[in-house]
Amino acid sequence: MATPPPPGIYVPVPTFFVSKKAANYDPVAAPVDIETQIAHSLYLARSGIRGLVILGSTGEAIHLTNKERFEVLSGVRQAFEKEGFKDYPIIAGTATQNIEETVEQLKGAKEAGAQYGLTLVPGYFAGASTQEGIIRWFTSVADRSPIPILIYHYPGVSNNVKVVPATFETLAKHPNIVGCKLSHGDVSYHTQVASNPSIDHSKFATFTGLGQQLLPVVTVGAAGAIDGSAGFFPKSVVRLYDLSVKNQPTDDEVRERRLLQFKVSAVEELVVKYGTVGIKEAISRLRKLGDPDGTRLPLFGGIPGGDAEWAKWQVLIDALEEEELKL
């Protein structure tokens, strides 16, 4: 029986591309920058992040070829092994809606060194999708996948297809489906999955995709978060998780986690507003890694407004950076 990823904080890492200044820069499809990918991944592992999601929505999975997918995954895995992070959890995203191609990507992910797959809910035929069709689609993928998979429910990139709690209850019984990432704001749905007594939560872990929800969803059984802002404030989000899972926190710890959740939630609005573009901007400005304009078309440029827009967030970012530097 497959086991889910260990509880904690995971980061959906962006895929880094070479700078415009590089000799091999291509404005249509800049080559992947494995060196920066590795540097960012090691920075996160050394900061207490429990594992990585590579090639998810933040990682622009739909913009990469299968060859590039393998290069990114295997490059990070080899670096982890070399630097003493043996068996460090890597979850590889898939973003195709063809079952056969999804399974091929999962096979490639295993070959590259990933232990899990994060499989996006198919959403092209949103109007005609049924819960039974979703169950059959994921069952078919899980039956054929060489690695355990998690269901990736992100209505914002799946044409607003909804997966209801009863569907998760059914799919959680599959021996090769070990969890889910819920990237939406419906805490009631989180509760109906993470607290469902009919689900064996030792075999099926529920992760939120939003650090904004970390404290409340952990209290209803979530295993942690796969959070974009942890890509540039890793220690702060890990600290929030550690405080959130305490069963008998002191009064000081209650106050600390509420204030820290406020600061994380406020900064996370940058991620909600600008997605991977905002994440890359923050990683570049705060951690000096990558190029804020390092995306692939149709994504183009950094955050709209550049320095002027960044300045609007500065007070919130400085407040969380103060926490980060304490840890």
In the structure encoding, which two tokens stand for residue 177, read together? 């489906």
244 and 224 in contact (C-beta within 8 Å)?
Answer: no
Catalytic site residue 162?
no
Q: Cα separation of 281 and 25, whole Å?
A: 19
Helix axes 66-82, 99-112, angle to 10 degrees: 30
Terminal alpha carbon distance of the chain: 37
- Specify the DSSP element, H or E, that contains 31: none
In the structure encoding, which two tokens stand for residue 196, read together? 């469902």
The CB density around residue 125, as the number of other CB atoms within 10 Å, is 11
Query: Which residue do the tokens 């209290």 mark?
Result: 219
Q: Cα separation of 147 and 143, whole Å?
A: 10
CA distances for 161 relative to 6, 82, 131, angstroms? 28, 41, 10
Cβ burial, residue 230 (10 Å; 0-12/13-18/19+): buried
Give how far the C-alpha of residue 197 lies from the chain's centroid of Cα atoms, to the nearest Å: 26
Query: 173, 181, 203, 235: which is the annotated catalytic residue?
Result: 181
Q: Which residues are catalytic?
A: 181
